[in-house]
Amino acid sequence: MGWSRYAAKRLAAVPPMLLGVSLLLFAIMSVLPGGPEGMFVGENMDAATIASVRRNLGLDEPVPVQYVRWLGAALRGDLGRSFRDGQPVLEHIVSRIPATLQLTAAALVLALAVAVPCGIVSATRRDSWLDRLLTPVAFFGLSFPSFWLGIMLILLFSEGLGWLPGSGIATYGSEDDLLARARHAVLPTVTLASVQIASFTRYTRAAMLEVLGEEYVRTAYAKGLTPRAVLVKHALRNAMIPVITVVGLAMPALVGGAVIVETVFAWPGLGRLAVDAVFQRDYPIIMGIELIIGAAIILANLCTDLTYSLVDPRVTYE
């Protein structure tokens, strides 16, 4: 089985997985107390009025019928309409995707740009003062909740020093100013990347230490290759396989962290939309967001698997 056939086989498994995700989500939301009609009915409403509200929301039919109807519409690209404003769910989601992509992509790039060099330096200078400094710093970063770190960064750099804006994606009237948008993105990006920086640093260090102890690395040194050549040509590429795996596994954490970070920084992305939908019991919005996020995580894991052969030619898909 070649690369293309393997990719096709994995892609063919995506629809059944999404079907399972949607079925599980629908089942969970159907048993939640209160139901979505709780936002539209009051304590003094009679049974007839409540029944009318449920009928208007399409909740008067059995749950399996509701799911089949929703699934049929979803297969046609219709994720329903928001209970809150009646607008198509897909429009809400599409309008928020760019902001979330900007934040998560920037956080991932920042995490890799900082963590991989730190992990390599920590491994190649094992037990040095630099390694002893980076190790507790990494554990320090893992111990901080992202919401607490975000609030602290706002208090320091926005409220205290006034260097950076503490909320929003852009200042009103300067939405097209790339520099202004970049300044707004600094604090949420650092907050979202902080935990991943610590995690990636530890995994990179561990992977490099394992590779540097291999026989072929010692043989390369014995042949007279410079430490730089051994590191780049022999050690680093092989050490990247477990790091790539960790990056793929970190995608759900990045998405979950984006929900918290977007709420703290009033960032208008999918995470903020999901939080608002939960408080408003807007089930169609929640279903649509979770389905899109599920598809993104599945595809991210597929891309992770396919990247192995690019990093290490010994990896095949036969």
- How much is the pTM? 0.79
What CATH number did the domain enclosing 270 receive?
1.10.3720.10
228-240 pLDDT per residue, tens: 777 777 677 777 7
**Cα atoms found within 13 Å of the Cα of residue 236, Cβ hemisphere only:** 13
In a domain, 317, yes or no: no
Predicted confidence (pLDDT) per residue in 282-300, tens digit: 888 888 888 888 888 888 8
What is the distance between the alpha carbons of residues 170 and 158, in angstroms, rounded to a whole number?
14
CA-to-CA separations, 229 to 76, 125, 233, in angstroms, rounded:
54, 16, 6
Residue 204 domain flag: yes
State the Cα–Cα distance between residues 298 and 294, nearest whole angstrom: 6
Q: Do 63 and 115 lie in a common domain?
A: no
Rounded CA-CA distance 131/261 in Å is: 30
Tens of pLDDT, residue by residue over 197-239, are: 888 888 888 888 877 777 777 777 777 777 777 777 767 777 7
117 and 205: one domain? yes
The structural domain count of the chain equals 2
Per-residue tokens: 316: 């095949």
How far lies 279's CA from each of 36, 93, 258, in Å?
10, 17, 17
Phi first, then psi: give them for residue 81, nearest 5 degrees. -125, 150
**What is the spatial distance between Cα 283 and Cα 66, in angstroms, rounded to a whole number?**
12
Q: DSSP secondary-structure letter at 38?
A: G
Interatomic CA distance for residues 134 and 192, integer angstroms: 19
**What integer pLDDT is reported at residue 315 of this predicted model?**
62
On whether both 206 and 63 belong to a single domain, the answer is: no
How far apart (Å, rounded) are the C-alpha atoms in residues 112 and 104? 12
The last residue of a domain, from among 46, 75, 104 = 75
Q: Is there a single domain that holds both residue 71 and residue 8?
A: yes
Tell me: do 164 and 199 sit in the same domain.
Answer: yes
Q: Answer with the residue of higher pLDDT: 53 or 129.
A: 129
> Do 100 and 25 share a domain, yes or no?
no
CB-based burial of residue 62 (10 Å sphere; 0-12 exposed, 13-18 middle, 19+ buried)?
A: exposed
Q: How far apart are the first and last CA of the chain?
A: 4
Tokens for 27?
Answer: 């089942």
pLDDT of residue 23: 86
Mean pLDDT, to the nearest integer, of 113-138? 79
> What pLDDT score was predicted for residue 241?
77
**Nearest Cα to 286, choosing from 301, 271, 267, 298?**
271
Average pLDDT on 83-88 reads 80
The verdict on residue 208 lying in a domain is: yes
Query: For residue 270, is pLDDT > 80?
Result: yes
Residues 258 and 194 in one domain: yes
The answer, yes or no, to whether residue 265 has pLDDT greater than 60, is yes
Share of the chain above pLDDT 70, in %: 85
> For the residues 160-179, what does the mean pLDDT come to?
73
Range of the domain at 274: 90-311
Q: What is the DSSP letter of 36?
A: G
Is 110:193 a contact under the CB 8 Å cutoff? yes
Residue 3 CA to residue 11 CA, distance in Å, equals: 12
Clarify whether residues 133 and 246 are in a common domain.
yes
Q: Are residues 196 and 250 in the same domain?
A: yes
Q: Are residues 118 and 69 in the same domain?
A: no
Cα distances from 301 to residues 39, 80, 237, 244, 251, in angstroms, run 37, 28, 20, 10, 8
pLDDT tens-place string over residues 27-70? 877 776 666 665 665 566 666 766 776 676 666 677 788 788 88
Residue 1 has pLDDT above 60, yes or no: no
Q: List phi, psi (to 5°) of 88.
A: -60, 135
- Cα distance between residue 150 and residue 265, in whole Å: 8
Per-residue pLDDT at 316: 63
Dihedral, 224, 229, 235, 237 alpha carbons, nearest 10? -150
Contact assessment for residue 113 and residue 283, using Cβ atoms and an 8 Å cutoff: no
Tokens of 242: 């477990």
